[in-house]
Amino acid sequence: MKLWDKGFSTDKKIDHFTVGNDRELDLHLAKYDVIASKAHAKMLGKIGLISPKETKELVDELDIIEARIKKGTFTIEPSFEDMHSKIEYMLTLSLGDTGKKIHTARSRNDQVLVAMHLYLKDELTEIKSMTKSLFDLLLEKAEEHKKVMLPGYTHLQIAMPSSFGLWFSAYAESLIDDLYFVEAAYKVANQNPMGSAAGYGSSFGIDRSFTTNELGFETLKYNVVAAQMSRGKVEKATAFGMANIAATLSKMAMDICLYMSQNFNFISFPDELTTGSSIMPHKKNPDVFELVRGKCNKLQSIPNQLTLVINNLPSGYHRDLQLVKEIIIPAIQDMKACLEILTFSLKEIRVNKEILEDPKYDYLFSVDTLNELVQNGMPFRDAYKKMGIEINEGTFTPKRDIHHSHEGSLGNLCLNEIRKKMSKV
């Protein structure tokens, strides 16, 4: 069944190519098409295009379909083009002519739009929640290990003293920046495009404010052409939000892979969270974190992929826009999987409390030793040269009893202030 069926069929090759994997992807969106259809039916009843009896019948039948979707028994067979055609078929099968009235004053185009907006609102809310769970865990680990020293590196060279408290809370605070982008994407998604029909509105006197309130949107996407142009744009905004989280997770995963290696030996994980080698019995590989790194690097390419699909399209609908679903929906699933597995794994992280006992880390304290000379009256440049000479001659003696007290330093992590920042997001 096709919503645009005019009594003739297209070539099977054309069908296969144009439908693509929409049936599979639409299983993620079907619930939202039903929710939007219920609001649409109520609106049609409100303005008198269908009777109160027809409105109730449509809403009741849509409730039954929604229950099937939630149970996982809703399917889209090859004889249907997409979720829209299957749902309308089910309504018509049960209600006859009343079922055929559901498409009054709308287009499949704004059906896709509103379903995607509703879907993205839910998914972005879940991503925010999962990011907050990871944030809470990172701050918990920062508090637990705040006194355990860790070498800081620049250019992959030993640089200055750090701590696990700094390391964990650095990634926690970075996630706040990422959620600013996610929140921006949510605001883009939180605009009702329903009622724009094929992109130019309708001659029916529909009530778009009613469906906006019914569906829980913050506002309308008022201009019907602007509503149409949000197709691809709302997905791209979501992708930018996820790409920022992915950049943070990828960097942390890289740190973990590095720190787990025998050359560093800063951290470890229980055997059940690592994998082995088929020929090397000593191996404990960080496969989980390597896959997080790889998946998150892929996620950072999603905004560009969407740009390449939608970038040179004029206003109005074009079939190219169908392709954004197959980019954004799997990306969302990958994003959630990475957040979930990192939170699960980091609960079991073990930190090495004796890293700085190794004499190769003595040079971490050169700056603090230099600063003590400055505090005792020596000009900074003279102290810097003196320290350089001692290091070159091998006579450098590090000052290990360091005191960093300013906001955000290893002696003053400001964890409560970071929590307050997150609470505002």
pLDDT for res 81? 86
pLDDT for res 8? 46
Among the listed residues 2, 79, 73, the one whose alpha carbon sits nearest the alpha carbon of residue 31: 73
Split into its structural domains, the chain has a count of: 2
Where are any strands of DSSP class E within 335-417? 350-351
Q: Residue 176: which residues within 8 A CB-CB, separation 6 or more?
A: 135, 418, 421, 422, 425
345-358 confidence digits (pLDDT tens): 999 999 999 999 89
In percent, the amount of the chain with pLDDT more than 90 equals 76
Q: Are residues 119 and 29 in the same domain?
A: no
The overall average pLDDT reported for the chain is 91
Q: Are residues 35 and 137 in the same domain?
A: no
Using the predicted structure, report yes or no on whether residue 10 has a pLDDT greater than 80: no
Distance CA 177, CA 425 (A): 9
228-265 confidence digits (pLDDT tens): 999 999 999 999 999 999 999 999 999 999 999 989 99
Decide which of 397 and 138 is more confident: 138
Decide which of 55 and 275 is more confident: 55
pLDDT for res 16? 52
Distance CA 301, CA 246 (A): 10
Q: Are residues 50 and 196 in the same domain?
A: no
Residue 369's pLDDT band (cuts 50, 70, 90): confident
Among the listed residues 96, 80, 78, 74, the one whose alpha carbon sits nearest the alpha carbon of residue 29: 74
- CB count within 10 Å of CB 156 equals 7
33-44 confidence digits (pLDDT tens): 999 999 999 999
Q: Residue 196: which residues within 8 A CB-CB, separation 6 or more?
A: 109, 110, 113, 221, 224, 225, 227, 228
Q: Are residues 128 and 38 in the same domain?
A: no
Q: Are residues 100 and 126 in the same domain?
A: no
Residue 155 lies in a domain: no
pLDDT for res 4? 42
Domain of residue 36 covers 12-104
Q: Are residues 79 and 131 in the same domain?
A: no
Decide which of 146 and 371 is more confident: 146
User: Which residues does residue 161 pair with via DSSP β-bridges, in sequence order?
Assistant: 151
Q: Are residues 336 and 219 in the same domain?
A: yes
Distance CA 378, CA 3 (A): 83
Distance CA 126, CA 249 (A): 17
Q: Identify residue 305 by its one-letter amino acid code.
A: Q
Whichever domain contains 47, its CATH number is: 1.10.275.10
pLDDT for res 279? 53
The answer to whether 58 touches 50, Cβ cutoff 8 Å, is yes
pLDDT for res 7? 53
Distance CA 275, CA 289 (A): 11
pLDDT for res 22? 73
Q: Are residues 113 and 57 in the same domain?
A: no
349: tokens are: 């992280």
Distance CA 29, CA 25 (A): 7
Which one of 336, 356, 376 terminates a domain? 356
Residue 365 lies in a domain: no
Using CA atoms of 278, 281, 287, 290 in order, give the dihedral in degrees to the nearest 10: -100
Residue 22 lies in a domain: yes
DSSP assignment letter at 401: -
pLDDT for res 391? 86
177-195 confidence digits (pLDDT tens): 999 999 999 999 999 999 9
Residue 344's pLDDT band (cuts 50, 70, 90): very high
Residue 398 lies in a domain: no
Question: Integer distance in angstroms from the first to the last C-alpha of the chain?
Answer: 45
Q: Are residues 59 and 116 in the same domain?
A: no
Query: Helix or strand or coil: residue 69?
Result: helix
- Helix extents (H) in 9-150: 12-19, 22-46, 52-71, 83-95, 97-100, 108-144
pLDDT for res 30? 96
- CB count within 10 Å of CB 300 equals 17
Residue 131 lies in a domain: yes
Q: Are residues 131 and 42 in the same domain?
A: no
Which one of 310, 325, 356 terminates a domain? 356
269-326 confidence digits (pLDDT tens): 888 887 654 555 555 788 999 999 999 999 999 999 999 999 989 998 898 998 999 9
Among the listed residues 176, 295, 325, the one whose alpha carbon sits nearest the alpha carbon of residue 241: 176
Helix pair angle (83-95, 52-71), 10° resolution: 130
Q: Are residues 25 and 168 in the same domain?
A: no
Among the listed residues 243, 252, 236, the one whose alpha carbon sits nearest the alpha carbon of residue 179: 243
pLDDT for res 11? 52
Which one of 310, 329, 356 terminates a domain? 356
Whichever domain contains 185, its CATH number is: 1.20.200.10
Residue 159 lies in a domain: no
pLDDT for res 6? 46
Q: Are residues 187 and 325 in the same domain?
A: yes
pLDDT for res 366? 87
Using the predicted structure, report yes or no on whether residue 112 has a pLDDT greater than 90: yes
Measured CA to CA in angstroms, residue 83 lies from 77, 101, 188, 305 at distances of 10, 17, 24, 25
- CB count within 10 Å of CB 404 equals 14
The answer to whether 218 touches 104, Cβ cutoff 8 Å, is no
The answer to whether 255 touches 229, Cβ cutoff 8 Å, is no
pLDDT for res 9? 52
Residue 63 lies in a domain: yes
